[in-house]
Amino acid sequence: MKPRGRPKTVSDEEILEAALNCVAQQGYEGLSLRTLSTSLELSHSAVGQRFGTKENVFRQAVRAEFSKFFGALVEARSSWPAELDDLEELRALIHSFLSATVKFPALGQLMNREGVEPSDRLTFIVENVILPQISPIFGLLDRLRASGKIVPISTRSLFFLVAHGAEAPFTLKAFSATFDSYDGALDPARHIAETTDLIMRAITPST
């Protein structure tokens, strides 16, 4: 009989990342703890024993990935001057947000799925993960609108223009690649610079 080797060691971070990618690609219904365990070469019950329910795996995976995303955003923002006026702060935040999305395309895919219908999962994501991070920006936008430094664009319109518009080539990679014959391969840095500048020019009143 062939001796059994040591059980494979898989970190919690690896499990949560695999779970997040599964939901992003297949939806919540496609997430199976048993299948996830098997794909990671663990015993069938390993993920369940470590995290409990499927819902708990989902919530922890979402928290972990968004935590890494917002960490990347803060790191990208640190490359800009610490003190900026409100208008340039908005530019820096848009550029930094897009710079972070390059590294986490699965989050865009996840939100494209979870954002279609109301659900407890969507409520959890918005109230516990997204709003606590982006709500400080609401005050910045209020000041810019009140001072007339940007047009009276709604917070919703600007958010979706950036988060599900400008970031789309990083999330919809196959679709984006169909433009390669016209534009060449996607250059993320160029795309981020061009779209940030385009958005800022669009929302800044002409003088």
User: Of residues 38 and 97, which shows the higher confidence score?
Assistant: 97
CA distances to 7, 23, 203, 205 from 41, rounded to whole Å, are 9, 19, 51, 57
pLDDT at 8: 63
Long-range contacts of 140-143 (CB under 8 A, 24+ apart): 140/86, 140/89, 140/90, 140/93, 141/90, 143/86
Mean pLDDT for 68-88 is 96
The DSSP line for 39-54 is HTT--TTHHHHHH-SH
Q: For the segment 134-159, what is each residue's pLDDT rounded down to a tens digit?
A: 998 999 999 999 999 999 999 999 99
Q: At what angle do helices 105-114 and 54-77 cross, to 10 degrees?
A: 130
In the structure, what pLDDT confidence band is assigned to residue 10 with cuts at 50, 70 and 90? confident
| Residues 200/193, Cβ–Cβ less than 8 Å | no
Domain ranges of the chain: 65-203
Place of tokens 């919690």: 12
Structure tokens at 96: 């930094």
pLDDT tens digits for 96-148? 999 999 999 999 999 999 999 999 999 999 999 999 999 989 999 999 999 99
The pLDDT of 150-173, averaged and rounded, is 95
CATH fold of 65-203 reads Tetracycline Repressor; domain 2 (1.10.357)
pTM score of the predicted model: 0.90
